Amino acid sequence: MNLRKKLRKSQFNPDNTVQEQQDASIKQPIEQDRLSGILLENEQVLKTIYSDCSDVVFRSFLIGHRTQACLLYIEGMSNTEEIDKSVLTPLMQQDILNLSDIQTVLSEKIVVSKVTQANTFQEIIQQVSAGNPVILIDGQAKAIVTGLAKMEKRSIEEPIAESVVRGPRDGFTETLKVNTTLLRRKIKSPKLKIKSLSVGRYSQTQIALFYIEGLADQSLIDEVNNRLNRIEIDGILESGYIEEFIEDNSFSPFPQILNTERPDVAASNLLEGRVVILVDGTPFALIAPTTLYSLFQSAEDYYQRFIIGTLIRWLRYFFLLIALLLPSSYVAILTFHHEMVPTTLLLSVAKSREEVPFPALIEALIMEITFEALREAGIHLPKQVGSAVSIVGALVIGQAAVSSGLVSAPMVMVVAITGIASFAIPRYNAAIAIRMLRFPIMFLAGTLGLLGIMLGLITIIIHLSTLRSFGVPYLSPMAPMKGSEMKDVLVRAPWWSLKTRPRLTGNYNQYRQPNGQKPDPSKGTD
């Protein structure tokens, strides 16, 4: 039965699994075959696979003026200067008497730090796609892989979304090897382990799973590894793809996996027993498991004095309540609970709303939607005009809306304060979740008043209580309560008092430092 008949049969057979259909329609069986000892056959197979690929170079040459060989690489992904200097020149000038000397010559004359072998066409394709040139030799059923990949990469810069006043200025890039090096610079212990895998049928994206042996629980490592291995998709272009495939609850607005561009944040989470996932092609690393309180913590909290870190953390929680509840509270009070407002303030607000034709709920929705549109426009427009559009647009539209009588001045102030409060949330994906939840709470406030706000809050708390991140309760350590871990939730305790790590799993390395670390100059030195 030919391939076309197999495809037709698979389309109408409901018993065939998705994987069987994919294998029949996508995989080329020849890619799994082993190399033969005949160079022309191997070269013809690879030219068939790379047909219509003008950037793939097949460079034929003679090893020692006697043995036929072919060098295969992708132009722009390999270091051609090193290929000429360290591979072609020594091999073409070396005098070889018989084939038995080839392995010796390859090991002694190729001046490349990393040389491996490939036995199948699939291995060759993976290596060539990674930028490593491959040498095919007549009479040899193995190909020689040289580690001479060279691709353009962005320089290491400070992350824009996670900038700090005090702290490291380096950030992850789109190159996996560079990101691995940045983590190795933070944690130099050989206990830092890396598991690599490839995901994506066409993209073949390299993914690295990082953990510290002895700190991360083995069950957590196995669970993350199993979820990654279950992914079957055409391509992975960003770590957001991975996040959606491995999170516990896909329909929750709250992120259950932390993402960061900062190597110091990734390293600190590794030291607490978590795992870090790096994806080639994106600067955003994934950290699992995570909790709700991790989303409102900044790297700078741990670099400033603990008193300042605690104060700033309290301000963030206060801004969180403002960003979530201020417009709803304003709508509920003006619609149902006038007695809660002082008379003078109520008369001032009523005077400003005399010409407004809409109820408070519609007025709030108009302003919130306008503000969100301006914010998105400022993000996606070029930098030169984005900030100008967002600032000038807000001023002009706000003033025009008040002058025309569509909205009141107090409502403009409420929306502006709410927007500023949402900017104080350090994690962008957490801020988006709060912005999303603001709208249904406003509808509840406009229909049921403060009772609706309470119902909305209770629903959110119940939802958060049911969430898990790789088995870890999302509200941990607040619910369930773990008193020893509360030192890094509502407050940022001094480092000398943070003796234990977060309890993420049942088996974990509890202590991160011994007792007696509190500075005490009166004790002196031994």
Task: List 199's β-bridge partners, or say none.
Answer: 205
- DSSP assignment letter at 88: I
Q: Give residue 482's pLDDT.
A: 80
Domain boundary among 129, 146, 163: 146
Inform me whether the pLDDT recorded for 324 exceeds 60. Answer: yes
Same domain, 90 and 182: no
- Number of folded domains that form the chain: 3
- pLDDT-based confidence at 181, cuts 50/70/90? very high
In a domain, 351, yes or no: yes
Same domain, 445 and 379: yes
On whether the CB atoms of residues 408 and 352 are closer than 8 A, the answer is: yes
Q: 139 is written with which tokens? A: 């009479």
In a domain, 39, yes or no: yes
CA–CA separation, 288 and 182 (whole Å): 19
- DSSP assignment letter at 30: G
Q: Give the global pTM.
A: 0.85
Q: Can you point out the beta strands (E) in 17-86?
A: 56-63, 67-74
In a domain, 194, yes or no: yes
In a domain, 86, yes or no: yes
> Residues 54-69: pLDDT tens digits?
999 999 998 877 788 9
Position of tokens 């702290």?
A: 167
Closest CA to 136 of 82, 73, 75: 73
15 Cβ partners below 8 Å, 6+ apart?
Answer: none
Between residues 148 and 484, which one has the greater pLDDT? 148
Domain boundary among 426, 452, 472: 472
Position of tokens 């491995």?
A: 246
Same domain, 241 and 368: no
Q: Give residue 97's pLDDT.
A: 52
> Residues 205-226: pLDDT tens digits?
999 999 999 899 899 999 999 9
22 Cβ partners below 8 Å, 6+ apart?
Answer: 201, 232
Same domain, 187 and 227: yes
Same domain, 343 and 270: no
Same domain, 100 and 210: no
Listed in sequence order, the DSSP H helices in 405-517 are: 409-423, 428-448, 450-466
- pLDDT-based confidence at 30, cuts 50/70/90? low
Q: Give residue 20's pLDDT.
A: 47
Same domain, 358 and 274: no
On whether the CB atoms of residues 101 and 29 are closer than 8 A, the answer is: no
Inform me whether the pLDDT recorded for 4 exceeds 60. Answer: no
Q: Give residue 502's pLDDT.
A: 84
What b/e readout covers 156-189, taking b as 16+ CB neighbours within 10 angstroms?
A: beebeebebeebbebbbbbbbeebbebbeebbee
On whether the CB atoms of residues 293 and 502 are closer than 8 A, the answer is: no
On whether the CB atoms of residues 305 and 416 are closer than 8 A, the answer is: no
Same domain, 189 and 42: no
**Residues present in the chain in total:** 526
In a domain, 17, yes or no: no
Structural domain boundaries, residue 411: 316-472
In a domain, 101, yes or no: yes
- pLDDT-based confidence at 17, cuts 50/70/90? very low
Closest CA to 512 of 525, 500, 524, 526: 500
On whether the CB atoms of residues 156 and 181 are closer than 8 A, the answer is: no
In a domain, 156, yes or no: no
On whether the CB atoms of residues 71 and 61 are closer than 8 A, the answer is: yes
CA–CA separation, 477 and 487 (whole Å): 10
Closest CA to 148 of 198, 83, 205, 76: 83
Q: Give residue 484's pLDDT.
A: 74
In this prediction, what percent of the chain has a pLDDT beyond 90?
44
In this prediction, what percent of the chain has a pLDDT beyond 70?
87
On whether the CB atoms of residues 255 and 430 are closer than 8 A, the answer is: yes
Same domain, 57 and 121: yes
Interval 117-137 mean pLDDT: 90
Interval 262-274 mean pLDDT: 93
Closest CA to 224 of 275, 179, 271: 275
Domain boundary among 425, 441, 472: 472
Q: Give residue 387's pLDDT.
A: 63
Interval 371-384 mean pLDDT: 77
Same domain, 108 and 184: no
Q: 310 is written with which tokens? A: 């605690």
Interval 118-135 mean pLDDT: 90
In a domain, 8, yes or no: no
- pLDDT-based confidence at 445, cuts 50/70/90? very high
Alpha carbon 349 to its chain's center: 45
Same domain, 126 and 186: no
- pLDDT-based confidence at 5, cuts 50/70/90? very low
Same domain, 335 and 430: yes
